[in-house]
Chains A and B, each alone.
Chain A
Amino acid sequence: MRVTIWGCRGSVPTPGPETVTYGGNTSCVEVSLDDGTIIVLDAGTGIRLLGFQLLDRGIRKIHLCLTHLHLDHLEGLRFFAPLWNERVELDIWGPPSQELSLGERIARAFSPPLFPVELRDVPAAVTFHDVPRGPWTIDRASLMAQFVVHPGPTVGYRIATESSSFAYIPDHEPALAGAIAEKSPDWISGASLASGVDALVHDAQYFEDEYEERIGWGHSSVADAVAFTHAVGAGRLVLFHHEPRHTDDLLEQLEDRARDLTNGNGGLSAMLAHEGMVIELP
């Protein structure tokens, strides 16, 4: 399994000289398997460049798994080149809603006054799926999606092959349901998604003092991201959903803080996600 980060910024794109190292594109992660299966996680602006590359690689079948429909996870879809190619089959998975189907909710982003072309007019063969309540498979990958603490219906994903496992929970505030360190994993939002995975991409938007002023906004402090990783026994934490105001320098301070917190935590490692980062899993 190869995991590639195409966008790791939270909330809004942040182009500019102060974000060139870690990148300003919003959430998008590619998971590619040895058998050629492509699973794309979220459709933030990072998906735009990924789209061109997928077409160059001759990919014609793509699974897109959306965690939720906040704009920073959806806004790139309209500029995803495979969507505009009639030879492409695109399966879009996302959280169910009581009121409207996944397709109807996404179609809102493809309608006036937000966009000139209707979703029904895109050339690719698009199929929408509510994520199942239990595990399911895509080719040789096993997937699981579960609702997690974040405003509005939001899921995280676990993807596993025979030899490795990976979890993606980019927008997540588990501490809103109580201090993580004091709870058994049974009572921690997202715990079964990330339990024992080789690598976990997790929300770490804030320093601790910033989080205190943003409780309930749906994101985690770096300390809570580390505490969550420790509680679920994940091997490696990739700090994700970078706060838009955080420059490269500030992000490096956040990474230092994460490393301080992981010291003595049984070999747990933490690193910042950056655009172009590749995580090879066996």
Chain B
Amino acid sequence: MPTAVVSSAPPVEERRHKHLVLILAREFASNLATPTLIADDQGMLVFYNEAAESVVGRQFAEVGEMPLEEWTESFDPRTLDSVPVSPERSPTRIALDQRRPAHEALRITSVDGVERDVAVTAFPLFAHADEFVGIVAIFWRE
């Protein structure tokens, strides 16, 4: 624990760049040919790679950061039998909320209107055992 805390120290405005683990994950994803997205610990979609653009139908630069749930819902995810998948059952939501890996085969409709079958594997990122910093989701084209 910090020791010598004295009130005369100037107040520190905590500046935050993205967590180092997210920075490295983004660089890793940028170099993958497999569609991959990254969300932070608050469920904010912070990046998806070029390979994911072909699944999503739009470039990340066009979409920008946005809540992952909002982004996911826009694809109308459903099972391969066309049964809607509730948000809490989606692999990304499980990885975010329950902080465990999850995998599911899904049918989605991309922004360009194309229906696609994908399998999604999502897993949590921990910088330390008690420091959850976000998730990675990988889309496998079926």
Of residues 1 to 52 in B, which have CB atoms within 8 Å of A's CB atoms? 1-6, 8-12, 14-20, 23-24, 26-27, 30
Contact in complex: A98, B128 (CB < 8 Å): yes
A204 to B: closest C-beta gap in Å = 20
Contacting residues, chain B, for A139 (C-beta < 8 A): 4, 6, 9
Residues of B contacting A: mostly: loop
Q: A191-B17, A195-B15 are in contact. Are A178 and B30 (CB under 8 A)?
A: yes
With beta carbons under 8 angstroms apart, the residue of A91, A135, A140, A187 that contacts B12 is: A135
Contacting residues, chain A, for B20 (C-beta < 8 A): 146-149, 189
With beta carbons under 8 angstroms apart, the residue of B3, B18, B131 that contacts A187 is: B18
Contact in complex: A149, B24 (CB < 8 Å): yes
Contact in complex: A189, B23 (CB < 8 Å): yes
Q: Mark A181-222, 1 if CB is under 8 A from B, else 0.
A: 000011111111001000000000000000000000000000
Contact in complex: B17, A161 (CB < 8 Å): no
A128 to B: closest C-beta gap in Å = 11
Contact in complex: B14, A134 (CB < 8 Å): yes
A-B contact count (CB 8 A): 81
Contact in complex: B18, A186 (CB < 8 Å): yes
Q: Is B83 in contact with chain A by the CB < 8 A criterion?
A: no
Contact in complex: A136, B17 (CB < 8 Å): no
With beta carbons under 8 angstroms apart, the residue of B1, B8, B9, B16 that contacts A129 is: B1
A90 to B: closest C-beta gap in Å = 12
Q: Which residue of B lies closest to A135 (CB)?
A: B12
With beta carbons under 8 angstroms apart, the residue of B14, B24, B127, B131 that contacts A177 is: B24
Q: Which residue of A lies closest to B65 (CB)?
A: A186
Q: A133-B131, A148-B20 are in contact. Are A142 and B15 (CB under 8 A)?
A: no
Number of interface residues of A (CB under 8 A): 36
Q: A98-B129, A147-B127 are in contact. Are A141 and B18 (CB under 8 A)?
A: no
Q: Which residue of A lies closest to B27 (CB)?
A: A177
Contact in complex: A160, B10 (CB < 8 Å): yes
Q: Which residue of B lies closest to A136 (CB)?
A: B2
User: Considering the chains assembled together, what is the distance between the CA atoms of A190 and B17 in angstroms?
Assistant: 8
Contact in complex: B27, A135 (CB < 8 Å): no
Contact in complex: A142, B4 (CB < 8 Å): no
With beta carbons under 8 angstroms apart, the residue of B8, B16, B127, B128 that contacts A140 is: B8
Q: A144-B12, A192-B15 are in contact. Are A137 and B6 (CB under 8 A)?
A: yes
Contact in complex: B3, A142 (CB < 8 Å): no
User: Considering the chains assembled together, what is the distance between the CA atoms of A112 and B26 in angstroms?
Assistant: 42
Contacting residues, chain A, for B30 (C-beta < 8 A): 178
Contacting residues, chain A, for B1 (C-beta < 8 A): 129
Q: A132-B2, A189-B20, A191-B17 are in contact. Are A176 and B27 (CB under 8 A)?
A: yes
Q: Which residue of A lies closest to B12 (CB)?
A: A135
Nearest 4 Cβ contacts at the A-B interface: A135-B12, A192-B15, A137-B9, A142-B12
User: Chain A residues in contact with chain B, CB under 8 A?
Assistant: 91, 96, 98, 127, 129, 132-142, 144, 146-149, 160-162, 176-178, 185-192, 195
User: Chain B residues in contact with chain A, CB under 8 A?
Assistant: 1-6, 8-12, 14-20, 23-24, 26-27, 30, 127-129, 131
Please name 13 further chain A to chain B contacts, defined as beta carbons within 8 Å, in addition to the given A142-B10, A160-B10, A192-B15, sorted by A numbering: A96-B128, A135-B14, A140-B9, A142-B9, A142-B11, A147-B20, A161-B9, A177-B23, A177-B26, A186-B17, A187-B26, A189-B23, A190-B17
